[in-house]
Structure 1
Amino acid sequence: MNQRKKALFNWSGGKDSALALQTILKDNQFEVISLLTTINEETLTSSIHSIPIEILSKQADSIGIPLHTVLFAKDLKNYDHRMRETVEYFKKQGVTHFIFGDILLADIKTYRESKLNPLGIEVVEPLWDKSSSEIMDIFLTSGIKTKIIVTQTDKLNHTFIGKNLDRNTVNLFPNEIDICGENGEYHTLAYAGGLFKKEIDFSISEIKKIYYNIDLDNGKTKTVTYWQAEITVPTHKF
């Protein structure tokens, strides 16, 4: 019997991460020793989905794989340094592969390989090279439950925040958006079913409008606006 290769799974907390990890665990070629999530050190939320670190920890506990978090400055000035430290830390534990849940964006895959391959790490993309419609069909039969927690305001309005990503919701999507949100149209939080042993308890207390300034290659700056759920972690009284 071939020994499984040690891997680190890059965990966003959303649907693609959950589906990619479930796929990897079923395939059983890799020993996933940890989940890795990048965290905004000011807000203590994940850097893209803005999921609180408490929820990310609950996800990891429910899945049964430890969570390793890396804190970054808001302007990402320490990103490369922190990631190099992280790679070296896990290489000492025998990790040879980093796994991601990307689907279609070739520039992101190329970027990951350009950063990790020179450090002796191979990139694995279990969902890669399938169409968004194929991935959505697989997701909808995976048993994984997710809620939409972020939408780009010019793509999906605020009424989508808090909806479960199911067939009924997908049928409401405008035709012009990517069905999996590959262009940033929406992000999700995975909370139950599939690879989760117990449901993650959370609530949405508020929906905020947030703004990101993106520096373009031509030297100009583009402002992108999002609707974002304010995630509340329940406090249990004993």
Structure 2
Amino acid sequence: MTPENIVVAFSSGKDSVYTVHQLAKDKRYNIVSLITTCTENGSVTSHHVAEKLVEKQAEAIGLPLFIIKMNVFTTENFENELIRTMMYFNEQFGVTKIAYGDLFLEEVKNYKEELLAKHGFQLLLPLWKCDTKTLAHEIVNEGYKAAVISIDSTKLSTEALGKTLTEEWLEQLPPGVDPCGEYGEYHTFVYDGPLFAHTVPIEFETDKITERDKWKFVGIKTN
């Protein structure tokens, strides 16, 4: 049976990397490309990571990276560009499905499903309804190196920035913080793991913390 061509939405974080990990093992599917969304200043919209770092991730994983560029990230722009991108991959590779790393937020799932269905496309969620504590530990135990690049400062301390996830770190999360950060408590950048042909070099500048409302972001050297 010929595997079905699909694309995967890619943010650079642990959940999207592990989505690729799971789908790469699934003989029903063939991943033809990762898809990420960037603003014109070269920053991935969901995690505020430099575009060039995500390109290095994709190269290490061995998959093409398709970058959706937007001057300003708005819901309308996102919807239009996502559907345009899906139509391109449908024409080129027969793609009808896009995978995301969503875990349990029903409103997010319903929004994406409805948007895609209106245009004849489908949503894949390989990690859907996984227990987030079990999943977070599984990602670490599989050998993925995921560093914390941003936090919700009302939930976590600045000390978390730049730290690589470990079982000990996960066990010490404050009460009420989802182990996978599904409510936005923290975001990560994966720089190594079983999918990676080599480590993605990354250097954090923990003395250069930027803030936006309640969010804090660690400085990352991109040379």
Q: Under TM normalisation by the shorter chain, which class is it?
A: over 0.9
Other-structure match for 2:37 = 38
| 1:160-179 equivalence runs, <5 A | 160-179=160-179
Other-structure match for 2:217 = 228
TM-score (norm 2): 0.94
Count of residue pairs the alignment pairs up: 219
| Aligned residue identity for 1:160 | A
Other-structure match for 2:186 = 186
- Give 5+ residue unaligned stretches, structure 2: none
Other-structure match for 1:61 = 59
| Aligned residue identity for 2:170 | V
In the TM superposition, what is the alpha-carbon distance from 1:164 to its structure 2 partner? 0.5
Other-structure match for 1:126 = 126
Aligned with 1:16: secondary structure?
helix
In the TM superposition, what is the alpha-carbon distance from 1:4 to its structure 2 partner? 0.4
Which of these residues, 71, 74, 77, is aligned with residue 72 of structure 2?
Answer: 74
Runs of 4 or more off by more than 3 Å in structure 1? none
- Give 5+ residue unaligned stretches, structure 1: 212-224
| Aligned residue identity for 1:226 | W
Q: Deviations over 1:135-181 (max 9, x none)?
A: 11321222111100000010001100000011121122101111110
Which protein is bigger by CA-based radius of gyration? 1
Other-structure match for 1:148 = 148
Quick one: distance in 2 between partners of 1:150 and 1:62? 23
TM-score (norm 1): 0.88
Of all paired residues, the percent bearing the same amino acid is 29
Q: Deviations over 1:196-236 (max 9, x none)?
A: 1100011122211112xxxxxxxxxxxxx1110122123xx
Higher helix residue share: 2
Distance change >3 Å, CA 23–CA 52, structure 1 → 2: same
Quick one: distance in 2 between partners of 1:79 and 1:50? 16
Quick one: distance in 1 between partners of 2:162 and 2:146? 9
Quick one: distance in 2 between partners of 1:124 and 1:103? 11
1:203–1:231 Cα contact (<8 Å) kept: yes
Quick one: distance in 1 between partners of 2:78 and 2:100? 18
Q: Does 1:25 align with 2:24?
A: yes
Quick one: distance in 1 between partners of 2:26 and 2:109? 21
Aligned with 2:68: secondary structure?
strand
Aligned with 2:66: secondary structure?
strand
| Aligned residue identity for 1:54 | K
1:14–1:189 Cα contact (<8 Å) kept: yes
Aligned with 2:162: secondary structure?
coil
In the TM superposition, what is the alpha-carbon distance from 1:75 to its structure 2 partner? 4.4
1:157–1:227 Cα contact (<8 Å) kept: no
